[in-house]
Amino acid sequence: MPVASPLTYGDISPRTAAYAVVDLLKRGHEDMILEKFGQTYVLPTKSTKTAKFRRYEVLPLATTPLVEGVTPAGTKPTFTDYTVSIEQYGDFIPYTDVIEDTHEDPVLKENTALLSQQATETIETLRWNVVKAGTNVFYANGTVRTDVNTPLTLALQRKGTRALKRQRAKQIKSVVSSDTRFNKESIAAAFVGICHTDVENDIRNIPGFTDPKNYSGAVAWANEIGSVEDVRYVRSTLFTPFLEGGGVKGAMIGVTQADVYPVILFAQDAYGIVPLKGKSAASIIAHNPGSSGSSDPLNQRGTIGWKTWQASVILNDLWLVRLEVAATN
């Protein structure tokens, strides 16, 4: 089944529609944390509804001595393909004011801002739901989620990073830039940790915590908390906890039981996404009042909306660790 055209103009010109798409993407990218770190599948137009991600396996060691004059057999690289069906998401805002066909129109700008936030948070939540479902998990205390009622500690973080290193997971050395392009920005090698804002205070209290303002030569990301050893932490209110999911709350956040917060540590190529970047990333559809024919006899109603294709997938469960912790009240 062909993918929808990247732009559907409705009743505004291509120039204005293109402006609205760029504005929608630009407003959202800084807050799209998972956009920065995933392996990307750039969605081509007029393609199938299947995104394919590829992970190359480590080559075996070449421990056999070479024989003089004899060419060895060589080693063929092996890889694992992961496929996921893309799905379409979107919404619209109805309005009653006449939209003028110009990017200065306040209705277009205001509605685009609202739709941008909605699109950004929708896509980020869809991706969060995928990455938090990994099977590689450590608990702050106990052996199941319903035991958890203690905060994140350095010892727990080290359990997570040790598990990643045992699996030869590579630290992340570049991230996707926070704009509408596909540019990569080099960074100092590190694992990345993502968490809810409620966990921020506990991370700051871990021995060895470094505030981003004290980084030497490194630029902080939007919403970055700071680093502990070889993990850089980034926060968002969208990375939601399992409410009342833990043990008796004590001094932790919760009502009677502690809320349990997933803290995800991941390495390079741990998960894959269809990025919200480029001309095929999203559609802006606008219909001016009067375009609905007899269903709008007095030309009173118009709409502006967004639409995009998205998919996310874990590429290697062993390169992604979920730490389940409580948060100090």
**pLDDT band at 237; cut points 50, 70, 90:** very high
Q: What percent of the chain has pLDDT over 70?
A: 79
Q: How confident is the model at residue 8 (pLDDT cuts 50, 70, 90)?
A: very low
Regarding the domain delimited by 14-60+73-130+273-314, which CATH topology (the fold level of the hierarchy) does it fall under?
A: Major capsid protein gp5 fold (3.30.2400)
Report residue 23's pLDDT band, with 50, 70 and 90 as the boundaries: low
Of the ranges 31-35, 221-225, 250-254, 282-286, the best mean pLDDT one: 250-254
Average pLDDT of the segment spanning 162-180: 81
Q: What pLDDT is recorded for position 136?
A: 96
pTM: predicted TM-score of the whole model, two decimal places: 0.82
**Bigger pLDDT: 326 or 107?**
326
Ramachandran category for residue 259: left, alpha or beta (phi over 0 → left; psi -120 to 50 → alpha): beta
Q: pLDDT tens across 47-59, in order?
A: 667 888 888 888 8
Strands 271-273 and 39-40, by their bridges, are parallel
Non-local CB neighbours of 68 within 8 Å, separated by 6+ positions:
none
Decide if pLDDT at 99 tops 70.
no
| Interval 191-203 mean pLDDT | 98
pLDDT over 90 (residue 128): yes
Does residue 316 surpass a pLDDT of 70?
Answer: yes
Residue boundaries of the structural domains of the chain: 14-60+73-130+273-314, 138-271+315-325
Confidence (pLDDT) at 122: 93
Q: What is the pLDDT of residue 139?
A: 98
| Rounded Cα–Cα distance for residues 11 and 100 (Å) | 10
What is the rounded CA–CA span in Å between residue 35 and residue 37?
Answer: 6
Q: Which of 108, 106, 102, 122 is nearest to 304 (CA)?
A: 108
Beta strands in 62-139 (DSSP E): 79-85, 87-95, 137-139
Each residue's pLDDT tens digit, 102-123: 444 566 777 778 888 898 899 9
**Span 226-231, mean pLDDT?**
96
